[in-house]
Amino acid sequence: MVQLAAGCSGESAVGESAQNSAQAAPATVAQPQEERKLVLAFGDSLYAGYRLGQDESFPAVLERALAARGIAAQVANAGVSGDTTASGAQRLAFALDGLDRRPDLAIVGLGGNDVLRGLDPDETRRNLEAILAELQRREIPVLLTGMLAPRNMGEEYVARFDAIFPELARAYDAEVYPFFLEDVITRPGLMLDDGIHPNAEGIEAIVERVAPMVAEQLEDPAGQTPAGRGR
């Protein structure tokens, strides 16, 4: 049983993370820029790489994992520490408009800070729905990486929060990875000492699970609706 939902800590410097926002991870496949797939990793400090080196962040490791699969991709790091779903919804258009072109895929990972602050799950749902609606309007496929509420928040809160990601994925025909820290948050050796953020080994473990889903969406766009492939 997960006792703590993951999120990004407000203690990390938002300015420092914003500086890395929408920056590409180092290229790992020798291929002209215009021929590489473009993936937007849009999230909080779990994406930004809280207390990790730039090459250890989720987007950077994912880019290398895709390259190992023979997929030439640029994974733009649009993770900002401290972001709630509300702040994410506010900056989405700016992040998208700052890219050279429309992404082939958007990976969205927000909600951890909402639950850490005890925000109303209905608010989280509305904000994520606004994000998904905008991505759908721009015809960008989506992979949601979900979040779970701490079990000590009470059964009603947990039930309302945990339902958000799978229900919105169905509503917007998006792919969903149910819990970003699955099999990581319960293993101290894969977490930082704050018990909230994964360390470099934890990111590697997450990418090992998420990369096949990303690869499938990038390799097989046929049959996808504008918002992605549904479950």
Residue 35: predicted pLDDT: 82
Angle at 231 between CA 38 and CA 143, to 5 degrees: 25
Active-site entry in 55, 100, 120, 194? 194
Residue 185: predicted pLDDT: 97
Spatial separation of the C-alpha atoms in residues 41 and 94, rounded to whole Å: 14
The predicted model gives 174-194 an average pLDDT of: 97
Residue 17 reports pLDDT greater than 60: no
Give the helix ranges, DSSP H, for the chain.
14-20, 45-48, 58-68, 85-97, 112-116, 121-137, 155-162, 164-171, 200-219
Nearest to 109 by CA among 72, 28, 52, 164: 164
44 counts as catalytic: no
DSSP code at position 221: -
Residue 166 reports pLDDT greater than 50: yes
Residue 16: predicted pLDDT: 39
- Residue range 85-133, pLDDT digits in tens: 999 999 999 999 999 999 999 999 999 999 999 999 999 999 999 999 9
- Residue range 27-82, pLDDT digits in tens: 444 555 668 999 999 999 999 999 999 999 999 999 999 999 999 999 999 999 99
Residue 225: predicted pLDDT: 39
57 counts as catalytic: no
Residue 215 reports pLDDT greater than 90: yes
45 counts as catalytic: yes
Query: Can you name the residues that pair with 38 across neighbouring β-strands?
Result: 74
Spatial separation of the C-alpha atoms in residues 195 and 203, rounded to whole Å: 14
- Tokens representing 153 are 């928040």
Q: In angstroms, how far is CA 167 from the centroid of its own chain?
A: 17
Q: Strand order of the sheet with strand 23-24? A: 23-24, 73-79, 37-43, 105-109, 142-145, 175-177
Nearest to 115 by CA among 132, 103, 127, 129: 127
Active-site entry in 81, 83, 173, 197? 197
pTM of the model: 0.85
Active-site entry in 17, 45, 57, 81? 45
Residue 1 reports pLDDT greater than 60: no
Residue 34: predicted pLDDT: 62
The predicted model gives 160-187 an average pLDDT of: 98
